[in-house]
Amino acid sequence: MCGIIGYKGKEAFPVLIESLKRLEYRGYDSYGFATVHSGELHIFKNTGKISESNMLEGLPGNTGIAHTRWATHGNVNKTNAHPHIDCEKRIAVVHNGIIENYQELKNKLLKKGHVFNSETDTEIIPHLIEENIKYGFEEAVKKTVSQLKGRYAIVALERDTGKMVAVRRGSPLIVGVKDKEVFVASDIPAFLNYTNNVMYLDDNEMIVLDGENKFYSLLTGEEVKKRLITIDWDAEQAEKGKYPHFMIKEIMEQKETIMRAINQDDKEIEKIANKINNAFGTFFTGCGTAGKVCFAGEYIFSRIANKHINYVVASEFPNYKHFLTDKTLLIAISQSGETADVLEAIETAKKRGVKVVSLVNVAGSTIDRYSDHSFNIKAGPEKAVASTKATTAQLALVILLAHAVAGKLQEGKMLLMETASKVNDMLNPRYEERIKKLAEKIHKQPNIYIIGRSLNYPIALEAAIKIQEVSYIHAEGFAGGELKHGPIALIEKGVPCIVLAANDETKDDIIANAMEIKSRGGYIIGVSPENNEVFDYWLKVPDVGVASPIVNIIPVQILAYHLAVLRGYDPDYPRNLAKSVTVK
Ligand code: AGP
């Protein structure tokens, strides 16, 4: 939700544009820049996507900040776009997150005569800094943030000194360094083209970007020493390459990512399996797609390890606090490692003495660092808002853990290696073409339904998310057996219904459900290892036993992608969404 960047070094504007384009997946309704040159602040803002702008004129200076917005407070327009400034045009601020008490603070500032232009919560920040500037810029920022409630990250730029101060409180900020250049951004890909040497700001820390670039704790006021970490992502991984969109590139990367996900240290897997076996209650938590992986995890653990794990969607997890003790284990799943609802779930758990294990894709992310143990799913940077390769990597790791809990780690590895190899075969141009043809048939339909049973019921829910978020077609997933209790009333002639028919004990029942839909006129799309007379269109998937959730979601990812493209939407930037949801 919103991407922010600060840069000091060479000519700032070209670097800020490049970096901002790479952060666009975090928000893309408007953007803006501020640079400092010859004792003046230079500002440019616009609506729309930075990647589609043909703005040629640059802003001067070697220091600047920039922002790409996902609106929370106020409409999408130039005035509400960041950076925001104080009355004297002396301080410019970019901000990610939400200031919960902004109205109260704004009223106080208005009474003191401050003039506001935007409807944003952000604009109070430069005015509060202005109020305190007599204490010096760093002190003024400290005094300001001590008054702000909420989760946020900010970068403030001062006109007179060209100093920047960045503060992290709940929303991510990472510092990148390269010789005398320094970057501070919401996410690593912003500056990966320039450097992969990073330092992480923790919550309640700030960095003063003045050449010395020192970190301080906002709680103690003391300087904090940081370790320089070299990230093993390369810039190319975060580029589209030969593909028209990140989404299809990332779908195709599943040829390798499943294999990478299971390449974990056996001892660590066994250690966590032991913890699960010894815990008095284990919970899975996550949001959106990651939440659906957690839900699938509940079935996967039951099927493979005969073990009951509770799935709770992260935003509801705090309501389960009464069930938590110091013997409980929480397994949090998050691609970004920054999702606010998951972080809140972890905070709730930690307050009750619960140990936290996480599965994340971003090393060094907040969830990664706040967990007692963390596995990296190794999918590489996922830029498309719609999660694809991270989903199957998470599923693979959950399946591996379940096998370890059952004392069958090597068997699990063999199964997943076989699955990875079959996914590699499946993702060929002919397969994509067949799915594209299906998309051509159904892309004008207003509704699509998806059914699955057991392990594939959560996958039906995930399939619906994929279709909804990129094609804007109304899609809903159901447990196959539930249709007759109501939703079957929605079926009429020609309504596409995707049937996830795994070759397991649920097969006869799900096929019977498909028959029920077909008799009411539904158009049946079977995702299954074998064809069946009930299918009007068959999408073959390999038979991989309990790993069926991995292979069943892939054709739907490809379908969702082509539905979006055929309907004229950019699948990488779905409306109203952002890659990393850092607000509650
Ligand atoms: C995925 O396609 C969605 N855009 C979204 O549901 C996402 O999975 C969710 O916001 C959780 O994100 P995370 O994995 O980074 O925590």
Q: How far apart are CA 467 and CA 461, in angstroms?
A: 10
Ligand 1 pocket residue status of 195, Cβ below 6 Å? no
Q: Ligand 1 within 6 A of 189 CB?
A: no
| Ligand 1, atom 4, residue with closest C-alpha | 386
292 and 395 co-located in one domain: yes
Do 575 and 522 belong together in one domain?
A: yes
**DSSP single-letter state for residue 83:** P
Concatenate the DSSP letters of all residues of 183-201 into one string: EEESSGGGTTTT--EEEEP
Is the pLDDT reported for residue 510 higher than 90? yes
Q: Contact, 163 vs 213, CB < 8 A?
A: no
Identify the domain containing residue 288 by its residue range.
Answer: 243-426
129 and 151 inside one domain: yes
Is the per-residue pLDDT at 54 higher than 80?
no
Nearest CA to ligand 1 atom 2: 386
Q: Which of 171, 577, 192, 201 is nearest to 338 (CA)?
A: 171
Ligand 1 neighbourhood includes 30 CB (under 6 angstroms): no
CA 399/CA 137 separation, integer angstroms: 52
Decide: 168 and 207 in contact? Cβ < 8 Å: no
Q: What is the C-alpha to C-alpha distance for residues 494 and 229, in angstroms, rounded to an integer? A: 55
**Length reported for the chain:** 584
pLDDT per residue as tens digits for the range 105-148: 999 999 999 999 998 989 999 999 999 999 999 999 999 999 99
**Rounded Cα gap, residues 174 and 64, in angstroms:** 16
Domain count, the chain: 3
Task: Looking at the structure, tell me whether residues 338 and 448 fall in a common domain.
Answer: no
Give the pTM. 0.81
Coil/strand/helix, residue 113: coil
Same domain, yes or no, for 450 and 400?
no
Do residue 333 and residue 451 come from a single domain? Answer: no
User: How far does the centroid of ligand 1 lie from the alpha carbon of residue 312, in Å?
Assistant: 15
Last residue of a domain, one of 206, 237, 268: 237
Q: Is there a single domain that holds both residue 197 and residue 339?
A: no
Distance (Å, whole) CA 517 – CA 281 = 39
Judge if 293 and 422 occupy the same domain.
yes
Q: Is 98 in the pocket of ligand 1 (CB under 6 A)?
A: no
Q: Per the omega criterion (within 30 degrees of 0), is the bond before 83 cis?
A: yes
| Boundary (domain end) residue, out of 217, 237, 257 | 237
Residues 194 and 248 in one domain: no
Residue type, 133: I
Statement to judge: residues 289 and 226 lie in one domain? no
Q: What percent of the chain has pLDDT over 90?
A: 81
Segment 269-313, tens digit of pLDDT:
999 999 999 999 999 999 999 999 999 999 999 999 999 999 999
Which CATH number goes with the domain that contains 256? Answer: 3.40.50.10490
Q: Specify the DSSP element, H or E, that contains 564.
A: helix 548-566
Please report which confidence band the pLDDT of residue 26 belongs to, taking 50, 70 and 90 as the band edges.
confident
CATH of the domain at 50: 3.60.20.10
Phi and psi dihedrals of 293, rounded to 5?
-65, -40
Residues with Cβ within 8 Å of 422's Cβ and at least 6 positions away in sequence, in order, are 542, 544, 551
493 and 556 part of one domain: yes
**Are 163 and 32 members of one domain?**
yes
Q: What is the pLDDT of residues 513-529, one digit of tens each?
A: 999 999 999 999 999 99
Active-site amino acid positions: 2, 579
Instruction: Tell me the C-alpha distance between 227 and 554, whole Å.
Output: 39
The answer, yes or no, to whether residue 580 has pLDDT greater than 90, is no
Q: How far apart are CA 82 and CA 96, in angstroms?
A: 10
| pLDDT band at 55; cut points 50, 70, 90 | low
Q: What is the average pLDDT across 377-389?
A: 94
In three-state secondary structure terms, 331 is strand
Domain boundary among 237, 265, 284: 237
